[in-house]
Amino acid sequence: MNDVHDAQGDVDAAGPTGAPAPPIAARLLDQVRERIRYLHYSIRTEHAYVQWVRAFIRFHGLRHPVEMGAREVEAFLSWLANERQVAVATHKQALSALIFLYQQVLGLDLPWLSEIGRPKSRVRLPAVLTHDEVAHLLQAIQPPHRLMAQLLYGTGMRILEAARLRVKDVDFERQALVVREGKGAKDRVVMLPASLAPALREQVHAAHVVWSGDVRSGTAGVHMPNALDRKYPRAGASWAWFWVFPRLELSTDPRTGVWRRHHVLEQTFQRVFKRALDASGIAKPATPHTLRHSFATHLLQSGYDIRTVQELLGHADVSTTMIYTHVLKLGGGAVRSPLDALHAGTPAHGAGFGVGPPAVRGLTHYALPAPAKPPRVRMPHAAYGARAMTPVSTFALFATSTSTRTGTGTGTGTGTGTGTGTSALFHAPTCVNPVTQVGLA
């Protein structure tokens, strides 16, 4: 699912680019790869689009896409939706790959491309773990993968962002981690949990041992983004660019073919996470990305504002972060069920069917307690003036109001009254790091 979102994000960010440059490669799939790399799409987008173009050609008996049109495209998408019953995101990714093929690779701006309908996305609430469930899950994950799981929950990073973490992006003095080339090729800064600093130092020391062995053996340096390996030929072999979580085995670079050390694979961590989830007995469809959802939800529960959570998660639009406010409406923050009020009462006129007054015969009659009177909320005169409004800090939404009124009247009697009141609309929340809150350092 993350691959689907990454590929779709590259297309949305790039937009129309006009007529493509003449292809150099002879084979169609190589032309697709060439155009994707020319537009600087991610390697995940390249793999996904090549897969969909290959599937489209094979579905129509190895016919060339130039010989096909709207009918063949709609037939392929209909087969995906009806026969394969793919998700909406997968359907949209396949359509984006075919539009990219005709517009960007073949250079055909056909009118029927814009007439093909896109499936409507459905808003799904993410799975969120409680603090106790996170604690049991992290305890079930064995080292060294436990540190990566704690980083996912303690910083809100995606699994690939944590796997790609380099030594130069860890700042112990400022207690910060720099996420490079996240979703949408954007950089951001997240906090480094103080409770994870000792374990992360040990992991960096272990990575240094691996790096020293590669230097002695003459292994090629790690992968460098863009053309930095040509601009700085020795940077890939330097310690600053080495991975914090290196893979133990060497592998071949899929684009250059160089035999070098890669970072730990996300598939390896996903398998470890699945085994730990089964061992902890958590009956939720959780994935490593669920730790990111839990990070955002627990921060909002602790009192952090939505804009801060948006920046930590790296969302381009706050509406994406707003999905976690819907999760907060569940559980303790939801409306109290009338069934709970029913069981809170004292049974009257017996229990069971056929017993009680005729009006409620067939049901158990309960004497329900009177609903509690809602508390009065006064306007915070100290925070808001008569005409001008002074913004209140989001992290300390505490307002105190004091008012004094004196009145004198003459008639059958004279009376004077004075009153003083203090009200607190919001309590200043105590915000702690999620990893510290679950008690697993």
Q: Report the b/e string of 225-245 with b at 16+ CB within 10 A.
A: eeeebeeeeeebbeeebbbbb
**For residue 20, what pLDDT is reported?**
62
Q: How far is CA 134 from the centre of its chain?
A: 16
Query: Looking at per-residue confidence, does 405 or 135 come out higher?
Result: 135
**For residue 290, what pLDDT is reported?**
96
Mean pLDDT of 391-404: 40
Active site residue 292: yes
Structure tokens at 338: 């009338």
What's the rounded Cα separation, in Å, for the pair 179 and 165?
A: 7
Active site residue 326: no
For residue 340, report the phi and psi dihedrals to the nearest 5 degrees.
Answer: -65, -40
Which range scores top for mean pLDDT: 173-177, 180-184, 220-224, 437-441? 173-177
The matching CATH number, chosen from 3.30.429.10, 1.10.357.10, 2.130.10.30, 1.10.150.130, for 2-115 is 1.10.150.130
Q: Which residue in the block uniquely carries the two structure tokens 């060497």? A: 250
Ramachandran region, residue 374 (left: φ > 0; alpha: ψ -120 to 50; beta: rest): beta
Mean pLDDT of 348-366: 45
* Number of Cβ within a 10 Å radius of residue 291: 29
Active site residue 188: no
What's the mean per-residue pLDDT of the chain? 78
At residue 227 the predicted structure's pLDDT band, cuts being 50, 70 and 90, is confident
Task: Look at residue 436 and tell me whether its pLDDT is greater than 80.
Answer: no
Question: Which one from 136, 158, 261, 298 is the annotated catalytic residue?
Answer: 158
Q: Where in the chain is the domain with CATH 1.10.443.10?
A: 131-326
Structure tokens at 409: 């009247």
Q: Where in the chain is the domain with CATH 1.10.150.130?
A: 2-115
Question: Which one from 164, 223, 292, 298 is the annotated catalytic residue?
Answer: 292
Burial classification of residue 110, based on how many CB atoms lie within 10 Å of its CB (0-12 exposed, 13-18 middle, 19 or more buried): middle
Question: Which one from 289, 304, 365, 381 is the annotated catalytic residue?
Answer: 289
Cis check for the bond before 144: say yes or no (omega within 30 of 0).
yes
Task: Look at residue 348 and tell me whether its pLDDT is greater than 60.
Answer: no
Active site residue 263: no
Task: Look at residue 407 and tell me whether its pLDDT is greater than 80.
Answer: no
What's the rounded Cα separation, in Å, for the pair 428 and 398?
A: 6
What's the rounded Cα separation, in Å, for the pair 382 and 392?
A: 11
**Cα torsion angle, 432, 437, 439, 441, sign:** negative
Active site residue 120: no
Structure tokens at 143: 């080292």
Q: Report the b/e string of 129-145 with b at 16+ CB within 10 A.
A: beeebbbbbbebbeeeb
Active site residue 366: no
Structure tokens at 238: 């330097």
Q: Report the b/e string of 19-32 with b at 16+ CB within 10 A.
A: ebeebeeeebeebb
Question: Which one from 183, 223, 261, 298 is the annotated catalytic residue?
Answer: 183
User: CB of 395 within 8 A of CB of 431?
Assistant: yes
**pLDDT by residue (tens digit) across 156-203?**
999 999 999 999 999 999 999 999 988 877 899 999 999 999 999 999
* Number of Cβ within a 10 Å radius of residue 116: 13
Query: Looking at per-residue confidence, does 262 or 9 come out higher?
Result: 262
Q: Kind of pairing, strands 259-263 and 170-171?
A: unpaired
User: CB of 341 within 8 A of CB of 368?
Assistant: yes
Residues 131-326, CATH architecture = Orthogonal Bundle (1.10)
Residues ≥6 apart with Cβ < 8 Å to 322: 306
At residue 361 the predicted structure's pLDDT band, cuts being 50, 70 and 90, is very low
**For residue 21, what pLDDT is reported?**
59
Mean pLDDT of 4-12: 48
What's the rounded Cα separation, in Å, for the pair 189 and 241?
A: 17
**For residue 116, what pLDDT is reported?**
77
Q: Which of 7-11, 23-27, 298-302, 317-321 has the lowest mean pLDDT?
A: 7-11
**Cα torsion angle, 245, 177, 161, 148, sign:** positive
What's the rounded Cα separation, in Å, for the pair 56 and 65?
A: 9
**pLDDT by residue (tens digit) across 35-90?**
998 998 888 899 999 999 999 999 999 999 999 988 899 999 999 999 999 988 89
**pLDDT by residue (tens digit) across 93-127?**
999 999 999 999 998 877 777 777 777 777 788 89
User: CB of 155 within 8 A of CB of 191?
Assistant: yes
Task: Look at residue 437 and tell me whether its pLDDT is greater than 70.
Answer: no
Cα–Cα distances (Å) from 253 to 237, 256, 329, in that order, read 15, 6, 46
Does the reported pTM lie above 0.75? no
**pLDDT by residue (tens digit) across 255-295?**
788 999 999 999 999 999 999 999 999 999 999 999 999 99
